[in-house]
A and B are shown apart, each in its own frame.
Chain A
Amino acid sequence: MALNAPLLRAKGADDLVVFDGVQKSYDGHTLVVRDLNLAVKRGEFLTLLGPSGSGKTTTLMMLGGFERPTAGHILLDGKPVEALPPEKRDIGFVFQNYALFPHMSVAENVAFPLRYRGVRGAEARQRVAKALDMVRLGGFGGRRPTQLSGGQQQRVALARALVFQPKLVLMDEPLGALDKQLRERMQIEIKHLQQTLGITIVFVTHDQSEALTMSDRVAVFHDGILQQLASPRELYDEPANAFVAGFVGENNFVPCTAMRIGPHAHALLESGLSLVGTMPVALPNAAQAMLAIRPERIGLVASGAEGAVACNIAEAFFLGDHTRVDATVPAFGGMNVTIKLPPSTPVPPPGASAGLVLPEQHCRIIAP
């Protein structure tokens, strides 16, 4: 396809990175990334979220210059980067295994990028010290990477990727090797650094809570296809399709047919039941669709209550901060529905009949 650079530049002057129709295949048979169109805004924290093998690392590698797109273009600052080798791209990279140089001290690792930017001597030392202070590792400069804990190594990698003030920093599951507590602390630290330094970060993870915590926007990948690009809240509340709805947070899915009748969107179920809901992305009439309702949005009332859908309680588990109830719903073709209730709510015993309240604004009718 012909590159229409002026058009693209006009489209977003504050776009730092633009993926334009990018495709990637390693073997010539299967596309690992297919037709990716994505713009990264200056100063934003963008996360690529997706299950294993969905093409996140590949996307990052193409942006970093370590893999070539099979088709399409990547623009950095409005200019195509095909001809730009990785060392000329001025992009910081934090690897999952940190990739610290084992034969250099921490300070030498951090000073490495400065050397190739003509920064030497006292100024280099000063900037290294500042970068290490920034990640709270002042005084560790003389150590070897192997003499540091995982979290400390992670922070050295961070300092090394930030010390030369790149316009963009890429991070490939940088917290994957850390335990849960350290992970959560580092999430906040990285987010904090990004905001104070005003840098742009493209972050890869397959942990949805990490993505929701840190990002300005999240790009959800599945099978090499960008499923949705949105803010965390939008992603949660208005998933574009069933994959996103299921991958980000928990959801109950009921197959249905989408119908727009007047101002209202309806989900027609197999059983003949029709539920009113919302449609984040407009679907054609009579399209195959999914009705998605989050467990914490479902209310449980006495059997036979007005507007409630009849169900039978199957099981209930007390989980500390909430109670989880599984109920069989005849109107959903006998499917099980999961409900999260506040811990104090009384729960009927297994086998009892009850009613489900499905609020209209939380019933999402989305593409399957």
Chain B
Amino acid sequence: MSAALAGRDLARAVRRSARPAQRVAFLLGLPALLFLFVAFVAPLGALLSAAVENPEVRQVLPQTAAALAQWDGASTPDEPVFAALAADLKRANEDKTAALAGKRLNYEMPGMRSKMLSAARMAGGASAGPFREMFIAKDPAWGALETWQVIARTAKPYTLYYLLTALDLQQAPDGSISRVDAENAIFLSLLARTLWIAAMVTIGTVVLGFPCAYIITITPPAVGRIMLLLVLLPLWTSLLVRTTAWVVLLQTDGVINDILLWTGLTAHRLQLIFSRFGTVTAMVHIQLPFTILPIYSVMRGISPSQIRAARSLGAPALSAFWRVYAPQTLPGVVAGGLITFILSLGYYITPALVGGPADQMISNFISTYINRDLNWGLASALGVVLLAVTLAIYGAFLRIAGPDRMRFG
């Protein structure tokens, strides 16, 4: 006979005997996990690293970068650094890569692009030093400490420049960080705009969705089922198709303006497309099912006798609803609202097609920085900011509702 296990021994024995079952369960999930790491987590990692990567100057000015590694940063460097720069620029002039480094330097110090290009042309023709005087004679900026501080910083393998920019911050040549001037500060207000649009969409869907969910719960099952189908069908319909429909509806000579004119609500056609109103309307339409379904599933679990009990205790109809029923629906409202808020933060297609310039959200800016400016660093940094905000709210959602609340249909 063995003594009954207890305490630490028992916990350990249970863990040991549970291990094979754990292994089987985990092995079933492993392929999907590995797949997600390759197809999803690694790309996000690539985005994170693209936000801090800093290859341009190192690539174009390798010798300068190496020479600057020993520089004390206190005064303009000596001849060897200038010689290295001259050699690098000579090569860059031949390879036509000077513009690349120039563009990167220009981000942090306006005017550097043209200085780099003309210095490269000069270095292409020069054969012997002393280079220090040659450069400073060409442009006194080469003698300035600040120029070299910026070159040294941009020659490092990683940079905070893009992330700082995405938060409307800047780093002075001496390394101190400060806010950018008001006229250049666009990204925090872009973030605020994105959050604001998402909030309006969330409020809109809750206001429209709550009564819907309630009526679906209390109607006879046959009617409720049809109403539920009407809610689910748009969920299944391509987002692009729905956005297209809104483009048509909202056009200046579109159906909505027709109706407004016909009913006499307005005297002339309104600018609905390419407006904030149009964007939010289309987004509310697309997000509505996501908000309704969690509310509905919570409401379905509330017994109708709750209201009856409240009425029998003397509460008038409205107060029975608001003081007894509504508080119990809160988990559904929070879950549905948070899902819609999270998903709204990342909208791209709808603002791009229905919104005007002032309605573009972070995702649209990311796309623009890539397609128009080829500025992958800044695009990635904006992506990191958006990702951080999204994940923070997703974390809150998981805390409040748990991953098993995510359901549809």
Q: Which residues of A contact B (CB under 8 A)?
A: 1, 21, 23, 25-29, 31, 34-35, 37, 68-72
Q: What is the bound-complex CA distance between A77 and B15, given in angstroms?
A: 28
Judge whether B2 and A68 touch: CB under 8 Å.
no
Contact B17 A72 (CB under 8 A): no
CB pair B17–A69 under 8 Å, yes or no, is yes
For the residues of B in contact with A, the DSSP-based class is: helix
- Chain B residues with CB under 8 A of A35: 1-4
Chain B minimum-CB-distance residue to A21: B2
Residue B20 lies at the interface, judged by CB distance under 8 Å to chain A: yes
- Picked from B2, B15, B20, the residue with its CB within 8 Å of the CB of A28 is B15
B20-A68 in contact (CB<8A)? yes
Selected from A25, A27, A29, A72, the residue in CB contact (under 8 A) with B2 is A72
Report whether B13 and A70 are in contact in the complex, using a CB–CB cutoff of 8 Å: yes
A-B residue pairs in contact (CB < 8 Å), sample of 21 = A21-B1, A21-B2, A23-B2, A23-B5, A23-B13, A25-B10, A27-B14, A28-B10, A28-B14, A29-B10, A29-B11, A31-B5, A31-B10, A34-B4, A35-B1, A35-B2, A35-B3, A68-B17, A70-B10, A70-B14, A70-B17
**Residues in A whose Cβ lies below 8 Å from that of B20:** 68
- Cα–Cα distance between A318 and B11 once the two chains are bound (Å): 55
Select from chain A the residue with minimum beta-carbon distance to B19: A68
B22 to chain A, nearest CB (A): 12
Report the contact-size class of chain B (Cβ under 8 Å from the partner): 10 to 19
B19, chain A: closest CB distance, angstroms: 9
The residues of A that contact B2 with a CB separation of less than 8 Å are 1, 21, 23, 35, 71-72
How many Å lie between the Cα of A199 and that of B5 in the bound state?
35
A23 to B2, CA, bound (A): 9
Contacts of B3 in A (CB 8 A): 35
Question: Which chain A residue shows the least CB distance to B3?
Answer: A35
Within 8 Å CB of A37, what residues of B?
A: 1
Chain A nearest CB, measured from B14 CB (Å): 4
* A68 cross-chain contacts in B, Cβ below 8 A: 17-18, 20-21
Question: Chain B 1-39, CB within 8 Å of chain A: the 1/0 string?
Answer: 111110000110111011011000000000000000000
Instruction: Tell me the complex Cα distance, A175–B4, Å.
Output: 33
Closest to A2 in B: B2
* Measured CA separation A72–B1 after assembly (Å): 9
Q: How far is the CA of A240 from the CA of B15 in the complex (A)?
A: 35
Min distance, Cβ B66 to any Cβ of chain A, angstroms: 59
Determine the distance from Cα of A21 to Cα of B1 in the docked complex, in whole angstroms: 6
Tell which of B1, B4, B5, B14 touches A26, judged by Cβ atoms closer than 8 Å. B14
- What is the bound-complex CA distance between A37 and B2, given in angstroms? 10
- In the complex, the chain A residue whose C-beta lies closest to that of B6 is A31
A70–B10 Cα distance when bound, in Å, is 8
* 20 more A-B residue pairs beyond the given contacts A37-B1, A71-B2, A71-B5, with a C-beta to C-beta distance below 8 A: A21-B1, A21-B2, A23-B2, A23-B4, A23-B5, A23-B13, A25-B5, A25-B14, A28-B11, A28-B15, A29-B11, A31-B4, A31-B10, A34-B4, A35-B1, A35-B3, A68-B21, A70-B10, A70-B13, A71-B13
